[in-house]
Structure 1
Amino acid sequence: MKRIISILFIMFFGFANSLIAENDRSIKRISVGEKSSKITIIAYESLTCGHCADFHKNVYPDLKKDFIDKGLVRIEFRHFPLDIAAFNASKIGQCNNDGNADILNILFSGQKKWAKGTSPEEAKIYLKKFLKDEGVNVSFEKCLNDKAIEDFVLNDRIEGVKKFKVNATPTIIINDKKFDKALNYKNLKKYLEKLI
């Protein structure tokens, strides 16, 4: 009897894990670049993090021009929200489920306009107004209340801690190894050139 229960238990968890994996596959990862690129960068970011916004403004454009657009590098943006405002913004960034980084880039470029407020409700109001002002077309409340997207965002954060010991943002992982140098384009370029 114990053996039958053990087998059923294993089967149930195998089935549950496959459902979870299937659910994750239905939500597209935000990424830029060719899947066949030799180098994959994973960027763990919080949308309210000033250093992450700085990465998008001062590092990412050159990285895209010199490496991503040439098919050498692919970058995946993973969610690591540090507060409720970032958590809500991550859900918005993921909501159109097109794998496109456009909304993410808009949120980072206008971070100072929406990442404020003294309460979660006030932060939501600023975020909603910013999106409207920028002409971003998403179903705001539906996106914030989408359980699958919420789980996807939280699982990014959990995996970042477990797999890569992420404890700050931005954290850059290159081909499954944490990039430990100061995050500027000069250091990143030098590191990537050695891998090509």
Structure 2
Amino acid sequence: MKKIFSILFIMFVGFTTNLIAEDTQSIKRISVGEKNAKITIIAYESLTCGHCADFHKNVYPGLKKDFIEKGLVKIEFRHFPLDIAAFNASKIGQCRNDGNADIINILYSGQKKWARGKTPEEAKIYLKKFLVDESVKVDFEKCLNDKKIEDFVLNDRIEGVKKFKVNATPTIIINDKKFEKTLNYKNIKKYLEKLI
């Protein structure tokens, strides 16, 4: 059943290619690090993707400690939802419009608690309950129904496909080049050290 919703969602995204960019310009990109860092990492992720949660658990902390906090790297989290549950979670993660990664970090750390359900409605109920349990303060219905945020999330996905040929998550782009090696901290660290 989840595969059917994933296919329908991908078809929906495929037909939604004429989104208005200026409507989404007031929305802040979720990023961590110095604005003018020498290296920019773009992480295309789906909040229901287990490999993306693994990236946040096993790779991102090292990046943050060794590169981001030292002002060498900035990371931008871009939305690439693979299903309706991830699409709704992306809208929640973006909803406060403060550029802060706290909500997406919470969503990844508790992914198994909310990323489930046989129907989109059931998935929405799990997501809402998880946010309440984690004391995340957002206007759930308003966030899910905000057209600007919805367009922003979909534009991220469309741009990822067009500009970087993103076809899986997570996809990591470092200074506008797709990172092609196995995604672990050791490989990324070695790659970044050559750019510094």
TM-score by length of 1: 0.90
Matched, 1:150 2:144: no
Instruction: Please tell me the root mean square deviation across aligned C-alpha atoms, in Å.
Output: 1.2
Match of 1:27 in 2: 27
For residues 102 and 139 of structure 1, what CA distance do their matches in structure 2 show? 16
Pairwise CA distance, 1:149: 0.2
Percent identity between the two aligned chains: 88
| Whole-angstrom distance in 1 between the partners of 2:21 and 2:34 | 23
Q: Which amino acid aligns with 2:163?
A: K
Distance in 1 (alpha carbons) for counterparts of 2:36 and 2:112: 36
4+ aligned runs moved over 3 Å, structure 1: 19-22
Q: Can you list the C-alpha shifts for 1:104-135, whole angstroms capped at 9, x where unaligned? A: 00000000000000000000000000000000
The AA in structure 2 aligned to 1:158 is I
Which blocks of at least 5 consecutive residues in structure 2 are unaligned? 1-17
Distance 1:28 1:178 in 2: 23
- 2:95 aligned partner: 95
Please tell me whether Structure 1 or Structure 2 has the larger radius of gyration of its CA atoms.
1
Structure 1 gap ranges (5+): 1-16
Q: Deviations over 1:1-29 (max 9, x none)?
A: xxxxxxxxxxxxxxxx9x94432220000
Q: What is the match of residue 178 of structure 2?
A: 178
Matched residue count: 179
Measure, in 2, the Cα distance between the counterparts of 1:122 and 1:172.
Answer: 31
The alignment's TM-score, normalised by the length of structure 2, stands at 0.90
What SS is found at the alignment partner of 1:183? coil
Quote the Cα distance in structure 1 between the aligned partners of 2:24 and 2:38: 24
2:120 counterpart of 1:120: yes
Q: Distance in 2 between matches of 1:158 and 1:92?
A: 19
1:74-113 aligned at under 5 Å gives the runs 74-113=74-113
